[in-house]
């Protein structure tokens, strides 16, 4: 399973909570430049089997189009619902509420979805043993890594995932193995 973090958006550049914004033109241009390398799969050691999924988020769907991928939107790949924080700058979140959200995976002080709920949703999707390519945001990829490694979502927060980087999980026995994380696709 090859995960691709979607292209940058204005919200990412402005340090805002995800809110379904469009991918920015420079990120989409970079995705178009990477399209052949990703489709060929030679550069990052995987040959996608043709199945592709995307988060329903606009930036993810636009990234798929720029990459030349005909992907099916899947609700399980959506970033967590950030409730009242959606679109707001990180710096404007109430510090106590933000601290609770960052230290308690079951907290949802914004009225949206907790990070443990996101992790459970992603784990359930991985339980179907998907293979192919999925384009989504960092929270989903971190949840997939936490599931594969058998660690909590707080531990997965320590993993950097650059826009348009790839993370590969391989099915092994009754679980998943991590083949690579945050790899930049070379053109």
Q: How many CB atoms lie within 10 A of CB 173?
A: 6
Question: Domain with 124 in it: what CATH number?
Answer: 3.40.50.1240
- Per-residue pLDDT of 19-59, as tens digits, reads 989 999 999 999 999 888 776 653 444 445 668 999 999 99
- Per-residue pLDDT of 172-185, as tens digits, reads 988 999 999 999 87
For the chain, what is the domain count?
Answer: 1
Tokens of 113: 């979805």
Domain that holds residue 124: 2-184
Model pLDDT, residue 20:
86
- Per-residue pLDDT of 53-81, as tens digits, reads 999 999 999 999 999 999 999 999 999 99
Position 154 pLDDT exceeds 50: yes
Report helix, strand or coil for 144. Answer: helix
Given phi > 0 = left and psi -120 to 50 = alpha, else beta, which region is 91?
Answer: alpha
Q: What is the DSSP string of 61-74?
A: HHHHHHHT---EE-
Q: Which residue has the higher pLDDT, 16 or 39?
A: 16
| Percentage of residues of the chain with pLDDT beyond 70 | 93
Model pLDDT, residue 43:
43
Report CA torsion sign: 167, 110, 115, 81.
Answer: negative
User: Which whole number is the average pLDDT over 139-154?
Assistant: 96
Model pLDDT, residue 187:
64
Model pLDDT, residue 179:
95
């Amino acid at each position: 399973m090859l995960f691709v973090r979607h292209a940058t958006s204005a919200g990412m550049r402005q340090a805002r909570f995800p809110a379904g914004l469009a991918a920015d033109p420079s990120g989409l241009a970079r995705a178009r430049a990477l399209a052949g390398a990703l489709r060929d799969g030679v550069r990052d050691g995987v040959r996608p089997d043709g199945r592709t999924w995307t988060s329903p988020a606009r930036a993810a769907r636009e990234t798929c189009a720029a990459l030349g991928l005909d992907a099916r939107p899947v609700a399980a790949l959506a970033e967590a619902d950030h409730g009242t924080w959606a679109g707001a700058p990180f710096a404007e979140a109430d510090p106590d509420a933000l601290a609770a959200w960052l230290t308690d995976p079951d907290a949802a002080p914004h009225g949206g979805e907790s990070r443990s709920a996101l992790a459970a949703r992603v784990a359930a999707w991985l339980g179907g043993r998907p293979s192919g390519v999925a384009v989504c945001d960092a929270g989903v990829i971190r949840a997939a890594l936490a599931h594969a490694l058998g660690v909590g979502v707080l531990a997965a927060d320590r993993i950097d995932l650059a826009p348009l980087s790839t993370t590969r999980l391989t099915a092994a026995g009754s679980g998943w193995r991590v083949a690579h994380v945050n790899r930049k696709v070379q053109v």
